[in-house]
Structure 1
Amino acid sequence: MSHLKIEHIEKSYGERSVLKDVSFSVQEGEFVSLLGPSGSGKSTLFRIIGGMTAPLSGAVYLEGEDITGKRGSISYTPQSPSLMPWRTTLQNVLLGQEIVGKKDEEKARDMLERAGLKGYEQAYPHELSGGMKQRASFIRSILSPQSLILLDEPFSALDEFTRLDMQQWLLSIWSEYKRSILFVTHNIEEAIFLSDRIIVLSDRPATVVKEFNIPFDRPRREDLLLTEEFLHWKKLIYQEMRVLNE
């Protein structure tokens, strides 16, 4: 049984169709990226999975249960870190656990230390850099009880080197906790480096046009980005995306 199953999702705003018969699945512990042109409806799909907006038709299943329109079933990290400005770093990362009444402060402090945030536990969001905020936001997702994490272009605002550092940090944490992750990006290199599988969406109205199983072993190292095989996959997916944009 798939961990997450999306079945025939349709979504329109007025007469403008955004999602058209979108179907795919994510297996337990799998890292899957949704790759598509900017404005193709990827974030709308995330809001549907998270129960924040309802589809026109179709259904979302998590571990066999229909969660269509239900909030609280998944952990969602939007493009901006969305930390509460009046809460400290420690209070922010504990928020998901706090909501369900199961706080583990010792584990939170340990993860903050591993994320390079030791000494910032009592700092407020305005005192953190962009990368620090994203680390805190992801730790909050990992600490939350939900088994599926949705990441919506979390590194898009970071410079190239900080972004690569964050990708490697994300993979190191994910490899330990093995939560199912659905990751939205329009960066081909990022999708290949992070993912087990890439699902390519068309321009609006978005539909699934291709799936790629990424063959690289884990753990993934930075030098993978410079190999001929990585470049081959980048060209392959780029050509697919280029056709979509013509």
Structure 2
Amino acid sequence: TSDRLLLNVLPGPIAERLKTGENLIVDRFESVTVMFADIAGFTALSSRTSPEALVTMLNELFSMFDTLAEKHGLEKIKTIGDSYMAVAGVPHPVADHATAIAHMALEMQAGVEAYAKRTGTELSIRIGLHTGSVVAGVIGTKKFIYDLWGDTVNMASRMESHGVPGRVQVSEATYHLLVGQFELEARGAIDIKGKGAMNTYLLVRQKVDPQRVSIAAITPS
């Protein structure tokens, strides 16, 4: 049971290291992509919705996000209120971290839109992505949490908080890793708290491979 509890709150490899007696778990990852997502319209919704209905809604949405994180091989870090944080490239470094998390972000966006339409709820999701290095580790002795630290985390949070409801905003660092495979709109320079003016981009969709489209068009069904 204690093993299952550890696996519920920590990534598998990290739980294993704790079980083998490693006391201090701190790792540096040079290239990861961090996501912050926030339910836009949640504060207004909470003023006219029962607490039970709010918790039910968040549980459904966050469960969907957890499923998407697993599908794309990402690590959910935590939820705070109506905010959701995840990372690609931790605890296992991967080359396509930006691509994986971009796919998840677009699917989260579509999922929230479908939920809002199905339930008649006025809400959308605002997502921010940034790529860089982080320090990851476990803190706590009774209640463990696995968390990330560093400027990359702060920047990803800023990408979300300065973003657009219903859109996925990415930093220039993330843009350069996505531009070959995804369509993005330049948002131009926006003033980021503590950073000054920075160029950001809005993720639109995955690029369609014209060769695959032409093959599909001539293949008899």
Relative to the length of structure 2, the TM-score reads: 0.26
Higher relative contact order (CA 8 A, sep 6+): 1
Asked which structure has the greater CA Rg, the reply is 2
Relative to the length of structure 1, the TM-score reads: 0.25
Name the structure with the higher strand share: 2
